[in-house]
Amino acid sequence: MKTNIQIAQDATLVHIKEVAAKYNIAEDDLELYGKYKAKLSNELIAKTASNPDGKLILVTAINPTPAGEGKTTTSIGLGQAFGRLGKNCLLALREPSLGPCFGIKGGAAGGGYAQVVPMEDLNLHFTGDFHAITAANNLLAALLDNHIQQGNALQIDTRQIVWKRCMDMNDRALRNIVVGLGSKSDGFVREDHFVITVATEIMAILCLALDMADLKKRLGDIIVAYNYDGEPVTARQLQAVGAMAALLKDALKPNLIQTLEHTGAIVHGGPFANIAHGCNSIRATKTALKIADYVITEAGFGADLGAEKFFDIKCRKAGLKPDAVVLVATVRALKYNGGVPKNELSAENLDALKKGICNLEKHIENLQKYHVPIVVTLNSFLTDTQAEYEYIQSFCEEKGCAFALSQVWEKGGEGGIELAQKVLQTLEEKPSAFAPLYPDEMPLKDKIRTVASEIYGAADVSYTPAAEKMLAKLTELGFGSLPVCIAKTQYSLSDDQHKLGRPTGFTVNVRDVYVSAGAGFIVVLTGAIMTMPGLSKSPAAYGIDVSEDGKITGLF
């Protein structure tokens, strides 16, 4: 079979104006980036705001494994299947980060015959949104250091600077650095740090902002440091808001592209779910709901991360009420959770499957706590067996979930018909009664414990002295009503990536806490999670190239 990039490059795309027309989007409401990409105008968003909402379907997954689960592929294939059934459906997805594209994970355009295109554009520079976010973030960092250099009128304590620089690349050497070396005119010497762009507060703000006024208000609320009296210093005080907003003016507008079968896809924003809130922008999702009958969105990594943050942060902030959840798993991943090595996953092994299905069981139980109906789907592989399918289907149905097999990687929309029909049936027969996991007024430590115990299955939570101190300070400063965004490994329900299956009796270890006041949540760092990833021994960048005729190869 062809590679993902070969399939994408061989596809016949239609002009983005034709895709838009299917959703009654006029050409005047498109800001074209060539033939196949466009931004949606602010005027379109304003004039559709009073339209009734379509149905919102979240696609999430079990904990990711080296075997791969195919959550984005399933989302795209499901959207294509809705199109084949004559349904007016839009996808609302995240933009890929350059870090994983050149690292180990690859891009985020789907796979096989369930992809969004142009695949190379999406996985690389796209419409420049991430570059704008990076520039805005680093402008604020430059203004902060310049303020100190020019006399420090705000009395910023250089030992309590919390704003970090960023770049959208995996570069571990930048995690901890020293800036200001050289002569007196080169700045004040201090320790500094970099995070990857998708983990920045600017990315979160862009994804949570409702409009330009809300964006500017959130940018102004960013806490960059504390002064000598321990009081927060904000971007507003540094007079950074206007210039940052100018850089983000176009990035705030959602992007429209298409799938291989010409279903529309609004792709906008891209925070990681292990170190950020993991959802595409509120503007994209809300706009999609106003112009389509069905909207399929996804949240990063497993349901313990992406789905929890989708429900407890994004839906809480935006007033969204999801109508159904699709939970993606694979036979191979469940056997991996049952202890089978990666190189032995192709062989039928019902014993390992029965042992590893506890991971799927826990994710089902977690999602049921939000009172949204669930459809479990298996992303099929050629090595799967009928006995394995039947066991998993029986297990899911006993848990009260609908079940469907997905073959979208191999067959595109046709391979998602069974899943689409199950989702439509679920939407008709099982009304959603969505509610977040915890109330706003719950104390911060209780919120952390609630997520750790209810979603991860932890027995206890421990805190470093610094984390304890910061939680008390943030509560005193009036941030206690914010939701928590817990940064944790994606590979396990615990904060230890080596604990597979459904671990019990473990303690979640909180090492640091800080507020993203502009985004409106408290970030909680657990275990060994890093906000600036590194490259592997053999990164994907080694295999990426450009031919003499300008064709990119090696992306996946």
- Which residue numbers are catalytic? 71, 73, 94, 105, 273, 301, 381, 409
CA separation for the pair 416, 209 (Å, rounded)? 33
Question: Contact 325/313 with Cβ under 8 angstroms?
Answer: no
Q: How many CB atoms lie within 10 A of CB 339?
A: 13
DSSP 9: H
Question: Contact 246/264 with Cβ under 8 angstroms?
Answer: no
Beta bridge partners of 264: 258
3-state secondary structure 40-84: ECHHHHHHCCCCCCCEEEEEEECCCCCCCCCHHHHHHHHHHHHHH
CA-to-CA dists, residue 218 to 49, 214, 233, 484, angstroms: 22, 6, 14, 17
Q: What is the DSSP string of 459-483?
A: SEEEE-HHHHHHHHHHHHTT-TTS-
> Who contacts 465 (Cβ-Cβ below 8 Å, separation ≥6)?
none
CA separation for the pair 506, 501 (Å, rounded)? 13
CA separation for the pair 216, 238 (Å, rounded)? 14
Token representation of residue 5? 């990039």
Number of H helices and number of E strands within the chain? 21, 25
Residue 286's nearest CA partner among 228, 218, 211 is 211
CA separation for the pair 497, 63 (Å, rounded)? 10
Give the count of alpha carbons within 13 A of 244, CB side only: 32
Give the count of alpha carbons within 13 A of 83, CB side only: 25
Beta bridge partners of 486: 524
Question: What phi and psi values does residue 49 have, to the nearest 5 degrees?
Answer: -60, -30
DSSP 198: G
Query: Which alpha helices (H) appear in 369-464, and where do they start and end?
Result: 386-398, 408-411, 417-429, 444-450
